[in-house]
Amino acid sequence: MRAVRVSEPGGSEVLEVVDTDAPVPGPGEVLVEVAAAGVNFIDTYQREGIYPMETPYVAGLEGAGRVTALGADVDGVAVGDRIAWANTLGSYAEQVAVPWAKAVPVPEGVADDVAVGAALQGMTAHFLVNDCFPLHGGETILLHAAAGGVGLLLTQLAVAKGARVIATTSTPEKAELARGAGAAEVIDYTAVDDLAAAVRDLTGGAGVDAAFDSVGRSTFDASLASVRPRGTLVLYGAASGPVEPFDPQRLNAAGSLYLTRPKLFDYIATTDELRTRAAAVYGDVAAGRLDVRIGHRYDLADARTAHDDLQGRRTTGKVLLVP
Ligand code: NDP
Protein backbone atom coordinates (compact mmCIF):
# COMPACT_ATOMS: atom_id res chain seq x y z
CA MET A 1 0.00 0.00 0.00
CA ARG A 2 1.01 3.66 -0.32
CA ALA A 3 1.87 5.61 2.82
CA VAL A 4 3.56 8.92 3.64
CA ARG A 5 6.66 8.33 5.73
CA VAL A 6 8.87 10.71 7.74
CA SER A 7 12.44 9.48 8.31
CA GLU A 8 13.88 12.57 9.97
CA PRO A 9 12.55 15.89 11.28
CA GLY A 10 12.44 18.70 8.75
CA GLY A 11 10.46 20.73 6.24
CA SER A 12 7.76 19.30 4.01
CA GLU A 13 10.45 17.65 1.85
CA VAL A 14 10.81 14.91 4.50
CA LEU A 15 7.30 13.66 3.65
CA GLU A 16 8.00 10.69 1.38
CA VAL A 17 5.45 8.55 -0.42
CA VAL A 18 6.51 4.91 -0.05
CA ASP A 19 5.19 1.47 -0.94
CA THR A 20 4.97 -0.58 2.22
CA ASP A 21 3.21 -3.62 3.67
CA ALA A 22 -0.29 -3.08 4.99
CA PRO A 23 -0.39 -3.21 8.79
CA VAL A 24 -1.71 -6.31 10.54
CA PRO A 25 -4.27 -5.46 13.24
CA GLY A 26 -3.04 -6.53 16.68
CA PRO A 27 -5.16 -7.29 19.74
CA GLY A 28 -7.78 -4.58 20.23
CA GLU A 29 -7.16 -3.13 16.78
CA VAL A 30 -9.20 -2.95 13.59
CA LEU A 31 -7.81 -2.65 10.07
CA VAL A 32 -9.35 0.20 8.08
CA GLU A 33 -9.34 1.10 4.43
CA VAL A 34 -8.83 4.85 4.67
CA ALA A 35 -11.41 6.94 2.78
CA ALA A 36 -9.79 10.24 3.78
CA ALA A 37 -7.02 11.27 6.16
CA GLY A 38 -7.13 14.60 7.97
CA VAL A 39 -4.28 17.09 7.74
CA ASN A 40 -3.85 18.98 11.01
CA PHE A 41 -1.40 21.56 12.23
CA ILE A 42 -0.08 19.07 14.79
CA ASP A 43 1.17 16.95 11.85
CA THR A 44 3.52 19.83 10.96
CA TYR A 45 4.73 20.21 14.58
CA GLN A 46 5.50 16.47 14.62
CA ARG A 47 7.20 16.60 11.21
CA GLU A 48 9.38 19.55 12.27
CA GLY A 49 10.33 17.94 15.57
CA ILE A 50 8.61 20.58 17.75
CA TYR A 51 6.87 17.53 19.16
CA PRO A 52 9.71 14.96 19.19
CA MET A 53 8.90 11.75 17.31
CA GLU A 54 10.61 8.39 16.96
CA THR A 55 11.57 7.99 13.30
CA PRO A 56 10.75 6.58 10.86
CA TYR A 57 7.00 6.90 11.21
CA VAL A 58 4.00 7.13 8.90
CA ALA A 59 2.50 10.60 9.38
CA GLY A 60 -1.07 11.61 10.18
CA LEU A 61 -3.29 11.11 13.22
CA GLU A 62 -6.78 11.35 11.80
CA GLY A 63 -9.04 9.70 9.29
CA ALA A 64 -12.22 7.85 8.47
CA GLY A 65 -12.90 4.69 6.53
CA ARG A 66 -14.38 1.22 6.45
CA VAL A 67 -13.30 -1.66 8.70
CA THR A 68 -11.85 -4.54 6.66
CA ALA A 69 -10.53 -6.88 9.39
CA LEU A 70 -10.63 -7.30 13.16
CA GLY A 71 -7.71 -8.12 15.47
CA ALA A 72 -8.20 -10.33 18.53
CA ASP A 73 -10.37 -9.15 21.43
CA VAL A 74 -12.38 -6.57 19.52
CA ASP A 75 -16.07 -6.16 20.44
CA GLY A 76 -18.72 -3.75 19.28
CA VAL A 77 -17.61 -3.23 15.68
CA ALA A 78 -17.86 -5.40 12.56
CA VAL A 79 -16.19 -5.68 9.18
CA GLY A 80 -17.90 -3.16 6.87
CA ASP A 81 -18.62 -0.58 9.61
CA ARG A 82 -17.57 3.03 9.04
CA ILE A 83 -15.40 4.54 11.76
CA ALA A 84 -13.33 7.67 12.38
CA TRP A 85 -10.37 8.46 14.66
CA ALA A 86 -8.31 11.46 15.69
CA ASN A 87 -5.31 10.01 17.51
CA THR A 88 -3.70 7.15 15.59
CA LEU A 89 -0.31 7.75 14.02
CA GLY A 90 0.00 6.25 10.52
CA SER A 91 -3.17 7.73 9.04
CA TYR A 92 -1.58 9.18 5.86
CA ALA A 93 -1.90 5.74 4.25
CA GLU A 94 -4.24 3.54 2.26
CA GLN A 95 -4.74 1.30 5.29
CA VAL A 96 -4.21 1.79 9.00
CA ALA A 97 -4.57 -0.37 12.11
CA VAL A 98 -6.62 1.64 14.62
CA PRO A 99 -7.09 0.68 18.28
CA TRP A 100 -10.87 0.29 18.50
CA ALA A 101 -10.84 2.04 21.90
CA LYS A 102 -9.54 5.18 20.13
CA ALA A 103 -12.11 5.10 17.32
CA VAL A 104 -15.71 6.23 17.00
CA PRO A 105 -18.58 4.94 14.86
CA VAL A 106 -19.64 7.27 12.04
CA PRO A 107 -23.43 7.65 11.95
CA GLU A 108 -25.56 7.37 8.83
CA GLY A 109 -25.94 10.79 7.28
CA VAL A 110 -22.36 11.88 8.00
CA ALA A 111 -20.17 11.38 4.92
CA ASP A 112 -16.59 10.12 5.32
CA ASP A 113 -14.89 13.43 4.50
CA VAL A 114 -17.23 15.35 6.81
CA ALA A 115 -16.58 12.75 9.53
CA VAL A 116 -12.87 13.57 9.27
CA GLY A 117 -13.52 17.32 9.27
CA ALA A 118 -15.59 17.00 12.44
CA ALA A 119 -13.20 14.64 14.23
CA LEU A 120 -10.01 16.24 15.60
CA GLN A 121 -11.04 19.81 14.78
CA GLY A 122 -14.72 19.36 15.66
CA MET A 123 -13.95 17.77 19.03
CA THR A 124 -11.40 20.53 19.69
CA ALA A 125 -13.99 23.23 19.11
CA HIS A 126 -16.41 21.23 21.29
CA PHE A 127 -14.13 20.86 24.32
CA LEU A 128 -13.02 24.49 24.10
CA VAL A 129 -16.54 25.95 24.46
CA ASN A 130 -18.03 23.23 26.68
CA ASP A 131 -15.27 22.22 29.08
CA CYS A 132 -12.22 24.46 28.81
CA PHE A 133 -14.00 27.84 28.91
CA PRO A 134 -17.70 26.90 29.12
CA LEU A 135 -19.86 29.44 27.31
CA HIS A 136 -23.33 30.06 28.76
CA GLY A 137 -24.49 32.90 26.50
CA GLY A 138 -23.85 36.61 26.62
CA GLU A 139 -20.03 36.43 26.54
CA THR A 140 -17.90 38.34 24.07
CA ILE A 141 -14.91 36.35 22.86
CA LEU A 142 -11.92 36.93 20.61
CA LEU A 143 -11.09 34.09 18.25
CA HIS A 144 -8.09 33.99 15.89
CA ALA A 145 -7.70 32.25 12.51
CA ALA A 146 -11.47 32.03 12.29
CA ALA A 147 -11.54 30.72 8.70
CA GLY A 148 -9.28 27.77 9.54
CA GLY A 149 -10.25 24.18 10.24
CA VAL A 150 -10.83 24.64 13.96
CA GLY A 151 -11.72 28.33 13.57
CA LEU A 152 -14.87 27.90 11.45
CA LEU A 153 -16.20 25.19 13.76
CA LEU A 154 -15.32 27.08 16.93
CA THR A 155 -17.04 30.21 15.63
CA GLN A 156 -20.24 28.28 14.88
CA LEU A 157 -20.31 26.48 18.25
CA ALA A 158 -19.58 29.69 20.18
CA VAL A 159 -22.30 31.61 18.34
CA ALA A 160 -24.75 28.74 18.91
CA LYS A 161 -24.05 29.08 22.63
CA GLY A 162 -24.96 32.75 22.52
CA ALA A 163 -21.51 34.34 22.47
CA ARG A 164 -20.62 37.41 20.44
CA VAL A 165 -17.56 36.47 18.38
CA ILE A 166 -14.86 38.94 17.40
CA ALA A 167 -12.85 37.03 14.82
CA THR A 168 -9.49 37.61 13.18
CA THR A 169 -8.45 36.52 9.68
CA SER A 170 -5.82 37.60 7.16
CA THR A 171 -7.77 38.15 3.91
CA PRO A 172 -11.17 39.50 2.81
CA GLU A 173 -12.16 36.02 1.54
CA LYS A 174 -11.38 34.50 4.94
CA ALA A 175 -13.26 37.34 6.66
CA GLU A 176 -16.32 36.46 4.58
CA LEU A 177 -16.12 32.83 5.67
CA ALA A 178 -15.84 33.88 9.32
CA ARG A 179 -18.92 36.10 8.95
CA GLY A 180 -20.75 33.21 7.32
CA ALA A 181 -19.93 31.10 10.38
CA GLY A 182 -21.55 33.74 12.57
CA ALA A 183 -18.77 36.10 13.64
CA ALA A 184 -20.24 39.48 14.57
CA GLU A 185 -17.00 41.36 13.90
CA VAL A 186 -13.94 40.43 11.83
CA ILE A 187 -10.58 42.14 12.14
CA ASP A 188 -7.80 41.69 9.57
CA TYR A 189 -4.99 41.21 12.08
CA THR A 190 -2.37 41.65 9.37
CA ALA A 191 -3.64 45.16 8.66
CA VAL A 192 -4.10 46.71 12.13
CA ASP A 193 -1.21 48.27 14.07
CA ASP A 194 -2.70 47.59 17.49
CA LEU A 195 -4.96 44.54 17.58
CA ALA A 196 -5.79 44.88 21.28
CA ALA A 197 -6.87 48.51 20.75
CA ALA A 198 -9.15 47.37 17.91
CA VAL A 199 -10.68 44.74 20.20
CA ARG A 200 -11.09 47.29 23.01
CA ASP A 201 -12.87 49.63 20.54
CA LEU A 202 -15.35 46.87 19.72
CA THR A 203 -16.07 46.18 23.40
CA GLY A 204 -16.57 49.74 24.64
CA GLY A 205 -13.13 49.63 26.21
CA ALA A 206 -13.99 46.64 28.41
CA GLY A 207 -12.07 43.83 26.69
CA VAL A 208 -13.33 40.33 25.93
CA ASP A 209 -14.37 37.68 28.44
CA ALA A 210 -12.07 35.17 26.79
CA ALA A 211 -9.57 35.00 23.95
CA PHE A 212 -9.12 31.72 22.05
CA ASP A 213 -5.63 31.92 20.58
CA SER A 214 -4.34 29.21 18.22
CA VAL A 215 -1.80 31.41 16.48
CA GLY A 216 0.63 31.73 19.40
CA ARG A 217 3.80 33.73 19.07
CA SER A 218 2.54 36.56 16.83
CA THR A 219 -0.80 37.12 18.64
CA PHE A 220 -0.14 36.18 22.27
CA ASP A 221 0.63 39.68 23.59
CA ALA A 222 -2.35 41.22 21.81
CA SER A 223 -4.61 38.44 23.08
CA LEU A 224 -3.47 39.05 26.64
CA ALA A 225 -4.06 42.78 26.26
CA SER A 226 -7.56 42.15 24.83
CA VAL A 227 -8.95 40.20 27.80
CA ARG A 228 -10.95 41.98 30.52
CA PRO A 229 -9.87 41.78 34.18
CA ARG A 230 -10.49 38.26 35.56
CA GLY A 231 -11.04 36.98 32.01
CA THR A 232 -9.36 33.96 30.41
CA LEU A 233 -6.78 33.45 27.71
CA VAL A 234 -7.08 30.01 26.14
CA LEU A 235 -3.85 29.40 24.25
CA TYR A 236 -4.51 26.26 22.24
CA GLY A 237 -2.05 26.36 19.35
CA ALA A 238 1.10 27.80 17.85
CA ALA A 239 0.50 28.26 14.11
CA SER A 240 2.95 31.20 14.05
CA GLY A 241 5.41 29.52 16.43
CA PRO A 242 5.58 28.78 20.16
CA VAL A 243 5.08 31.59 22.68
CA GLU A 244 8.23 32.88 24.39
CA PRO A 245 8.80 31.94 28.06
CA PHE A 246 6.28 33.82 30.13
CA ASP A 247 6.36 35.61 33.52
CA PRO A 248 3.14 34.78 35.44
CA GLN A 249 3.28 38.25 36.97
CA ARG A 250 1.95 39.51 33.62
CA LEU A 251 -1.39 37.86 34.44
CA ASN A 252 -1.51 39.92 37.63
CA ALA A 253 -0.63 43.16 35.84
CA ALA A 254 -3.25 42.55 33.13
CA GLY A 255 -6.03 42.20 35.72
CA SER A 256 -5.88 38.82 37.51
CA LEU A 257 -6.25 36.89 34.24
CA TYR A 258 -6.42 33.13 33.80
CA LEU A 259 -4.23 31.38 31.27
CA THR A 260 -4.71 27.80 30.10
CA ARG A 261 -2.82 25.78 27.46
CA PRO A 262 -5.11 22.81 26.75
CA LYS A 263 -4.90 19.91 24.30
CA LEU A 264 -7.68 17.79 22.89
CA PHE A 265 -6.14 14.48 23.92
CA ASP A 266 -6.67 15.34 27.61
CA TYR A 267 -10.35 15.99 26.85
CA ILE A 268 -10.86 12.65 25.05
CA ALA A 269 -8.73 10.74 27.53
CA THR A 270 -11.15 7.84 27.97
CA THR A 271 -13.07 5.93 25.31
CA ASP A 272 -16.27 7.01 27.01
CA GLU A 273 -15.41 10.71 26.82
CA LEU A 274 -14.13 10.35 23.24
CA ARG A 275 -17.34 8.66 22.06
CA THR A 276 -19.63 11.04 23.97
CA ARG A 277 -17.84 14.07 22.51
CA ALA A 278 -17.76 12.63 18.97
CA ALA A 279 -21.45 11.71 19.17
CA ALA A 280 -22.31 15.28 20.22
CA VAL A 281 -20.36 16.76 17.30
CA TYR A 282 -21.67 14.24 14.75
CA GLY A 283 -25.19 14.82 16.10
CA ASP A 284 -24.84 18.56 15.39
CA VAL A 285 -23.51 17.79 11.90
CA ALA A 286 -26.27 15.30 11.06
CA ALA A 287 -28.93 17.74 12.32
CA GLY A 288 -27.54 20.54 10.15
CA ARG A 289 -26.50 22.69 13.14
CA LEU A 290 -22.79 22.49 12.35
CA ASP A 291 -21.43 23.03 8.86
CA VAL A 292 -18.12 21.28 8.16
CA ARG A 293 -16.39 23.06 5.31
CA ILE A 294 -14.04 20.79 3.38
CA GLY A 295 -11.66 23.40 1.99
CA HIS A 296 -9.14 21.22 0.15
CA ARG A 297 -8.68 17.64 -1.02
CA TYR A 298 -5.21 16.47 -2.06
CA ASP A 299 -4.07 13.09 -3.32
CA LEU A 300 -2.00 11.21 -0.75
CA ALA A 301 0.99 11.74 -3.05
CA ASP A 302 0.62 15.51 -2.60
CA ALA A 303 1.12 15.54 1.16
CA ARG A 304 4.01 17.99 0.81
CA THR A 305 1.82 20.52 -0.98
CA ALA A 306 -0.91 20.05 1.61
CA HIS A 307 1.56 20.85 4.43
CA ASP A 308 3.03 23.80 2.52
CA ASP A 309 -0.43 25.25 1.86
CA LEU A 310 -1.57 24.79 5.46
CA GLN A 311 1.56 26.41 6.88
CA GLY A 312 1.54 29.05 4.14
CA ARG A 313 -1.93 30.29 5.23
CA ARG A 314 -3.39 29.29 1.83
CA THR A 315 -6.12 26.99 3.18
CA THR A 316 -9.55 27.45 4.73
CA GLY A 317 -11.66 24.86 6.54
CA LYS A 318 -10.61 21.22 6.52
CA VAL A 319 -7.66 19.87 4.55
CA LEU A 320 -7.88 16.22 3.47
CA LEU A 321 -5.55 13.67 1.92
CA VAL A 322 -7.36 11.14 -0.22
CA PRO A 323 -5.60 7.79 -0.84
P1 NDP B 1 -5.88 26.22 10.42
O2 NDP B 1 -6.72 25.74 9.33
O3 NDP B 1 -6.50 27.13 11.43
O4 NDP B 1 -4.59 26.91 9.81
C5 NDP B 1 -3.82 27.78 10.57
C6 NDP B 1 -4.25 29.23 10.38
O7 NDP B 1 -3.55 30.02 11.33
C8 NDP B 1 -3.87 29.79 9.03
O9 NDP B 1 -4.80 29.52 8.02
C10 NDP B 1 -3.79 31.27 9.33
O11 NDP B 1 -5.06 31.89 9.19
C12 NDP B 1 -3.42 31.31 10.82
N13 NDP B 1 -2.04 31.81 11.00
C14 NDP B 1 -1.71 32.97 11.60
N15 NDP B 1 -0.39 33.16 11.57
C16 NDP B 1 0.14 32.10 10.93
C17 NDP B 1 1.48 31.76 10.57
N18 NDP B 1 2.52 32.53 10.88
N19 NDP B 1 1.68 30.62 9.90
C20 NDP B 1 0.64 29.82 9.61
N21 NDP B 1 -0.65 30.09 9.91
C22 NDP B 1 -0.91 31.23 10.57
O23 NDP B 1 -5.24 24.97 11.17
P24 NDP B 1 -5.94 23.91 12.14
O25 NDP B 1 -7.40 24.15 12.18
O26 NDP B 1 -5.42 22.57 11.81
O27 NDP B 1 -5.31 24.29 13.54
C28 NDP B 1 -5.50 25.59 14.07
C29 NDP B 1 -4.69 25.73 15.33
O30 NDP B 1 -5.33 25.00 16.36
C31 NDP B 1 -3.25 25.23 15.25
O32 NDP B 1 -2.44 26.11 15.99
C33 NDP B 1 -3.32 23.90 15.95
O34 NDP B 1 -2.12 23.52 16.52
C35 NDP B 1 -4.38 24.19 16.99
N36 NDP B 1 -5.04 22.98 17.48
C37 NDP B 1 -4.92 22.70 18.81
C38 NDP B 1 -5.53 21.62 19.35
C39 NDP B 1 -5.42 21.38 20.80
O40 NDP B 1 -5.91 20.36 21.28
N41 NDP B 1 -4.79 22.24 21.57
C42 NDP B 1 -6.27 20.66 18.52
C43 NDP B 1 -6.40 21.09 17.13
C44 NDP B 1 -5.77 22.19 16.64
P45 NDP B 1 -5.09 33.44 8.71
O46 NDP B 1 -4.47 33.45 7.35
O47 NDP B 1 -6.50 33.85 8.74
O48 NDP B 1 -4.24 34.18 9.70
Compute the average pLDDT of residues 27-32.
Answer: 98
Instruction: Say what the pLDDT of residue 174 is.
Output: 98
The verdict on pTM exceeding 0.90 is yes
CATH superfamily of 122-264: NAD(P)-binding Rossmann-like Domain (3.40.50.720)
Length of the chain: 323
Task: Compute how many other C-beta atoms are within 10 angstroms of the C-beta atom of residue 51.
Answer: 12
Pocket lining: 240 vs ligand 1, CB cutoff 6 Å: yes
What sign for the dihedral angle of Cα 65, 304, 274, 112? negative
Instruction: Say what the pLDDT of residue 312 is.
Output: 98
* Domain range list for the chain: 2-118+292-322, 122-264
Instruction: Say what the pLDDT of residue 275 is.
Output: 98
How remote is the CA of residue 313 from the centroid of ligand 1, in Å?
A: 8
**CATH of segment(s) 2-118+292-322:** 3.90.180.10
**For a substitution probing ligand 1, which of 313, 315, 318, 319 has the most ligand atoms within 8 Å of its CB?**
313
Q: Indicate the average pLDDT of the chain.
A: 98
- For residue 78, name the pLDDT band (cuts at 50, 70, 90): very high
How remote is the CA of residue 316 from the centroid of ligand 1, in Å?
A: 10
Summarised one tens digit per residue, pLDDT across range 231-258 is 999 999 999 999 999 999 999 999 999 9
Instruction: Say what the pLDDT of residue 24 is.
Output: 97
**For a substitution probing ligand 1, which of 40, 62, 213 has the most ligand atoms within 8 Å of its CB?**
40
Compute the average pLDDT of residues 9-33.
Answer: 98
The answer to whether ipTM exceeds 0.90 is yes
End-to-end CA distance of the chain: 10
For 199, the 3-state DSSP assignment is: helix
Pocket lining: 311 vs ligand 1, CB cutoff 6 Å: yes
Summarised one tens digit per residue, pLDDT across range 95-150 is 999 999 999 999 999 999 999 999 999 999 999 999 999 999 999 999 999 999 99
Instruction: Say what the pLDDT of residue 268 is.
Output: 98
Q: Backbone phi, then psi, for 209, in 5-degree steps?
A: -70, -35
Ligand 1 atom with least separation from CA of 146: 47
